[in-house]
Amino acid sequence: MENLKGHIISYLPISGLRKVSDFLEHEGPILSHFVDKSNRNYLYYWVDFDGDYNRWLIWKVSFKKLIEYLKGHVSLKELMCEPNKDFIFSADLDRKLEFNNVIAIDIEDLPLAYIPEEDSFYTLPIPNLYLQLSEDRHENSYLELLKEKALYFTLEPNLPTFSTTVSAISASGFLKKISNSFLNFMEEDFFKTYRETITDFSRLKKIISQFKEILEPRVVYLQYSSFKVGLSTDSIKTLDQVSSYKEWQKSILDKYRNEVIDVNYNSEEELRNINKNYSEEARRKIFSPIIEILNDKDYHLTVTDQKHRFKRSFVGKISKEKQDILLPPKIEEETFEKKKLYSIVIEATEGEDFTKIKGKALQTGLLFSQELEKVEYPLNYAISLGHRLKFKNQIKFWYYIDSQNLYHAESEEFGIFIVAYSKEQIIKMFQDELIHLYLSNNTKRDKDSLRLMENFNKYLESHSVNSDDEDFPF
Amino acid sequence: MAKKLKYQSLIEENQLQNNCPYDGCKEARLKAYRWSYNPINSAHNFLPKNIYDKLMNTPPRGNSQDDFIKCSCCALSMFDSLEKAREKFSGFTSRVKLMLGYTHIAEGEIVEADGIISDIKNGHLDVFEYEGIELKLKFQIITPLN
């Protein structure tokens, strides 16, 4: 037997122990649940034997943890190494079940051979007795149902710099990516399944949108030492009027597991199979987040079901060559025209309307131009929600276009920072914001409102209410 | 005359005759699987736990007195499918697998003349051989356990 380092004691300092059940057994007990006279729970775990003794490790455990173990949520190793106790006891039981060589061992002094593996999860059906007891303790049955169906994602850091923890940014990034991948998969699968039966495209889109809300992955389990999260989807709530989607809804998470998670992303054959079943656009939506997760430099991923009957560990990164099979490199779209701002100086006839100078006239009149990062855009009026603000002095805001052709309007003075897809939209939005700020602050007397109204008063000539929302010239 | 069990004396030695074999045990015909050692004719194969412990001179494994009056220790543990046989073993830690010592799965057909079997629970059953039966001769090693 293994040599033990610990404090030799003459007897096991727990009285009135009686066995409740064997969790693991084969031709004799292997892991047994005991309670003491005060109904505190203990585990006996068989770890060694010789010609005279069987050696058992004995330690205290909470009932909640026992149930979590039986439900496959925590491993035997976690139960054993949980820092809720000073010692684990070792006892050598002889043929008459008398205790010999009782030793109190610090957890860190346990022989490595006695420590169960990380994946030492309980995989058998939960004994009825414990099912009943856990129900008696008012477990949330809805949550339990989701937990049973959930996929459990464990992120373990690639470097031990911060022990087994992963950064909050990594964890949140992971959740966002996996949720997006799942929701896109759900959309694709619903579309494929029902496109023949729901021929009204707008109705199909509407149902998909409703399901996106219902099936948004729910967090049903969290563990922080190695980030582990259980994600599940609701299979109970469904669209009111239609129950024919129920079976589809029930199976969607399993389908996602089979088609997206249980994949060897380094196998060319499996990737080509995916290509057969999904368009490039669908692959980008569903599989691209997965590739990003698997290639994250900070962590590696293991996915299991609740009982660990399903397990896939992703070790190593996905090569560029394999990625390109699944997600061919995008050819830059030629139609993408990058918008920029220019200041131009032109020669023109006095009184000429500059907005009408076009083509050749512009070319011949152009003296020089200069690219600008941003410009101050002036407003003489703001109009929105049936209100008009006329300014005696122009209100100016910073106006620029970013690398994605998104338009930005920013004003430190009024605390407005907005983004839009077009020039017209951004100017309209800026006016909306100004009017909204004016209307919501002009009757208030708090410090911030008064300061804001002081700013308005520097510019404002008049405020009027208008019945229609026509545009004013700037 | 009622057929005699191969390990009837073991049952009596452990004073289990009042409830061993269990109620409900019956003759049956089925394909069964047992954790084994390789080769199949190893002296350690197909022995009830009590006999095995005596052969190996190891103390019977138990942590309460009830463990020593278990009828199952006088029977052969088997499974009704290869999947169940694998599944149960895979639920043990490496340490336990090592101590149990089994390395392979043997498959064979049990017929009515071989003995009686208990109710099947979660794929597991106990087989009580009749006197004169040597089940291991009917079984073959089919696959490693891991």
Quick one: A199 and A259 in the same domain? yes
Confirm whether the ipTM is greater than 0.90. yes
A42 has pLDDT over 90? yes
User: Are A29 and B91 in contact (CB < 8 Å)?
Assistant: no
Q: Which of A131, A154, A174 is the last residue before a domain boundary?
A: A131
Average pLDDT of span A345-369: 74
Domain with B95 in it: 8-16+27-144
B2 within some domain: no
From CA A101, how far away is CA A86, in angstroms rounded?
Answer: 18
Average pLDDT of span A257-278: 92
Quick one: A124 and A149 in the same domain? no
A231 has pLDDT over 90? no
A474 within some domain: no
Q: Does A274 touch chain B (CB under 8 A)?
A: no
From CA B138, how far away is CA B110, in angstroms rounded?
Answer: 8
A470 has pLDDT over 60? no
A204 has pLDDT over 80? no
Q: Does B64 touch chain A (CB under 8 A)?
A: yes
Q: Taking CB atoms and an 8 Å cutoff, what residues of chain B touch A46?
A: 61, 96, 99
Quick one: A110 and A174 in the same domain? no
Q: Is A118 helix (H, G, I), strand (E, B) or coil?
A: coil
Give the pLDDT confidence score for residue A237 in this predicted structure: 60
Q: Residue A151: which H helix or E strand, with range? A: strand A151-157
Q: How many domains does chain B have?
A: 1
**Alpha-carbon separation of residue A375 from A398, A471, A472 (angstroms):** 6, 22, 21
Q: How confident is the model at residue A337 (pLDDT cuts 50, 70, 90)?
A: confident
CATH number of the domain that residue B31 is part of: 3.20.170
From CA A287, how far away is CA A188, in angstroms rounded?
Answer: 12
DSSP string, A437-462: HHHHHTT--SHHHHHHHHHHHHHEEE
Q: How confident is the model at residue A472 (pLDDT cuts 50, 70, 90)?
A: very low
Whose tokens are 């990034």? That residue is A173
User: Are B62 and A30 in contact (CB < 8 Å)?
Assistant: no
Q: Residue A268: which H helix or E strand, with range? A: helix A268-277
Quick one: A102 and A176 in the same domain? no
Interface of A with B in 1-40 (CB under 8 A): 18-19, 24, 26-30, 32, 34
CA distance A52 to chain B (A): 6
DSSP secondary structure code for residue B19 in this structure: T
A56 touches A91 (CB < 8 A): yes
From CA B90, how far away is CA B85, in angstroms rounded?
Answer: 9
A473 within some domain: no
From CA B87, how far away is CA A101, in angstroms rounded?
Answer: 35
Task: Give me the phi and psi of A309, to 5 degrees please.
Answer: -80, -30
* Distance, first Cα to last Cα, chain B: 44
CA distance B92 to chain A (A): 7
> Any bridge partners for residue A417, and if so which?
A410
Q: Which of B67, B94, B122 has the CB atom closest to A124's CB atom?
A: B122
Give the pLDDT confidence score for residue A260 in this predicted structure: 94
User: Are A53 and B59 in contact (CB < 8 Å)?
Assistant: yes
From CA B111, how far away is CA B135, in angstroms rounded?
Answer: 10
Q: Token pair for residue A284?
A: 């980008």
Average pLDDT of span A299-307: 89
Quick one: A98 and A202 in the same domain? no
Interface of A with B in 49-68 (CB under 8 A): 49-54, 56
Q: Taking CB atoms and an 8 Å cutoff, what residues of chain A touch B70?
A: 28
Q: Does A113 touch chain B (CB under 8 A)?
A: yes
Q: Does B72 touch chain A (CB under 8 A)?
A: yes
Q: Which residues contact B98 (CB under 8 A, 6 or more apart)?
A: none
A271 within some domain: yes
Q: Which of A28, A50, A52 has the CB atom closest to B62's CB atom?
A: A28
Domain with A255 in it: 141-326
Counting runs of H as helices and runs of E as strands, what totals does chain B give? 4, 6
Neighbours of A395 (CB within 10 A): 23
Quick one: A409 and A381 in the same domain? yes
**Alpha-carbon separation of residue A321 from A181, A222, A226, A245, A325 (angstroms):** 21, 35, 30, 39, 7
User: Are A48 and B99 in contact (CB < 8 Å)?
Assistant: yes
User: Are B94 and A117 in contact (CB < 8 Å)?
Assistant: yes
Q: How many domains does chain A have?
A: 3
Query: Smallest Cα–Cα separation from A111: which of A262, A2, A248, A267?
Result: A2
Q: Is A384 helix (H, G, I), strand (E, B) or coil?
A: strand
Mean pLDDT value across chain A: 84
